[in-house]
Amino acid sequence: MQITEHIHALKIPFQVHVNAATALDRFVYVYLIYGRKIYLIDTGVAGTEQTIFEYIKQTGRDPAEISLMILTHSHPDHIGAARAIKDLAGCSTAAHASEIPWIEDIELQYIERTVPGFHSLVGGSLEVDQVLKDGDIITLEDDLELQVYHTPGHSSGSISLMLLPDKALFSGDVVPLPGDIPIYDDIFTSLDSLKKLEAIEEIRVMLSAWDEPRKNQDAYNTIDAGLKYLQNIHEVVINNAAAYSALSEPRWCRSILEKLGIPGAAANPLVGRSFKSHLNLLSDPPGSSRSN
């Protein structure tokens, strides 16, 4: 589906096998930037290379034209097909420094952040050729530039990217959707990152990995709704902080989810990790600059 002059979106459905009996239906958006060459924002899960290559051929282009893959972060549904695409198209890869260890060594990622069905979602480790940081401008071609925003929280090296001629913002997994299962490493940097995105002038379209394209004011409303959702979660977690020591962690996690109106059955260690990050505020040293 073509979104702007240069951008095409592919919605990739996949399943997460939580256990032998249960599979969760999920999806992720992958974006292609068409210039004289082709550039990818994220790659989807293992096997997505077939869908991407097929789409490129259908639109009269050649998969060999892919020259760069930019990974918004290292999670399985973003890097899963990256190894295969790199092998087949011979392109280079770019990501934020904080994400590189988990891209270059997927076993390390599996040990440190165990997603169910991990090995069916990720095709393999790959080398990152270009290290990105906040404020970088990536010149894809003379008239095609991407501005890099470091937007940590969901993960420490999550980035968002603005394609300057189209004023299109790729936001990866940075903007949470109200009612969705909350997944982030750190609530405080998440809040700061949403404020940072909200302050960007003239977003004509926001392209999230887990939401449909949001145009103009709808983009800002979506960021604001994400911000309010996280603030609401923060209130609920802080109001129930005392229960953390009284309950086992899975039970505490379930009780917080239910207070948020999400079925407790959705509780898992990744959600627990999100909620626990709120409690870091309570152990902040006096005089900490943190004010959220």
Instruction: List contacts with Zn ion (CB under 5 A).
Output: 75, 173
Distance separating alpha carbons of residues 178 and 167, to the nearest angstrom: 25
Q: Are 41 and 73 in contact (CB under 8 A)?
A: no
Q: Are 117 and 18 in contact (CB under 8 A)?
A: yes
Minimal CB distance to Zn ion: which residue?
75
Distance separating alpha carbons of residues 162 and 157, to the nearest angstrom: 16
Of 173 and 186, the one with the shorter C-beta distance to Zn ion is 173
Tally of helices (H runs) and strands (E runs) in the chain: 11, 12
Question: What count of other Cβ atoms lies within 10 Å of the Cβ of residue 152?
Answer: 23
Of 42 and 49, the one with the shorter C-beta distance to Zn ion is 42
Q: How far is the CB of 157 from Zn ion (least distance, A)?
A: 11
Of 81 and 144, the one with the shorter C-beta distance to Zn ion is 81
Q: How far is the CB of 72 from Zn ion (least distance, A)?
A: 8
Query: Which residue is it, tokens 């609401």?
Result: 232
Query: 171 — phi, psi (to 5°)?
Result: -110, 5
Of 63 and 117, the one with the shorter C-beta distance to Zn ion is 117
Q: Are 158 and 100 in contact (CB under 8 A)?
A: no
Q: How far is the CB of 182 from Zn ion (least distance, A)?
A: 12
Of 75 and 278, the one with the shorter C-beta distance to Zn ion is 75
